[in-house]
Amino acid sequence: MTNSLNIIMFSGTADKFIPLGVLTQTAANLGVPVNIFVTGWATLAFKKDGYKMVTRFPKEFEDMAPALVNGLKDMRAPSWYEMLKSAKEIGEVNIYVCSLMAEALKIKSKEELDPIVDEILGAAAFMQRSAGGQVIFI
């Protein structure tokens, strides 16, 4: 296995949070440390209670969204937010919010963020913490 999985989470549409949850939980189950660097539109989802507002779908797939949402409901699949929370209990999962994006979006302190966020971090520090591991951009 790779020595760490590092996810730059930029997209803010609800569909892209599914692979965030699944990949994080899977890596945690396999004993692979995960670092998530939240930036872009995804930052909104990590504000306090922000996860409740992850409901936008890409415009070009809006007609298919109900089938996907209902399919996951029928499977009783946990939400991406529950998957991140349980991954943090199982393994080493760090959730960072990009300091540049936080400032651009007028987030002034960690208190405005969801409690699952560990730290507000700069891109340079993230790049150093993810060195040698796998990095994916969602």
Q: Which is nearer to its own copies, 95 or 126 (by Cβ)? A: 126
Which residues are within 8 A (CB) of 48 and not within 5 positions of it... i.e. 6 or more apart? Answer: 111, 112, 113, 114
Q: Which is nearer to its own copies, 106 or 115 (by Cβ)? A: 106
Contact in structure between 38 and 46 (CB atoms under 8 Å) = yes
Smallest separation (angstroms) from its own copies to the CB of 137? 4
Smallest separation (angstroms) from its own copies to the CB of 66? 12
- Tell me the helices (H) and strands (E) count for the chain, helix number first: 5, 5
Q: Which is nearer to its own copies, 48 or 136 (by Cβ)? A: 136
Q: Record the tokens describing residue 135, joined without a space.
A: 């990095």
Does residue 121 sit in helix, strand or coil? strand
List contacts with its own copies (CB under 8 A): 1-2, 8, 10, 12-13, 15-16, 18-19, 22-23, 26-27, 29-30, 32, 39-41, 44, 56-61, 64, 67-68, 71-72, 74-75, 77, 100, 103-106, 123-124, 127-128, 131-132, 134-138
Spatial separation of the C-alpha atoms in residues 84 and 63, rounded to whole Å: 27
Amino acid at residue number 117 = V
Q: Which is nearer to its own copies, 105 or 116 (by Cβ)? A: 105
Smallest separation (angstroms) from its own copies to the CB of 126? 8
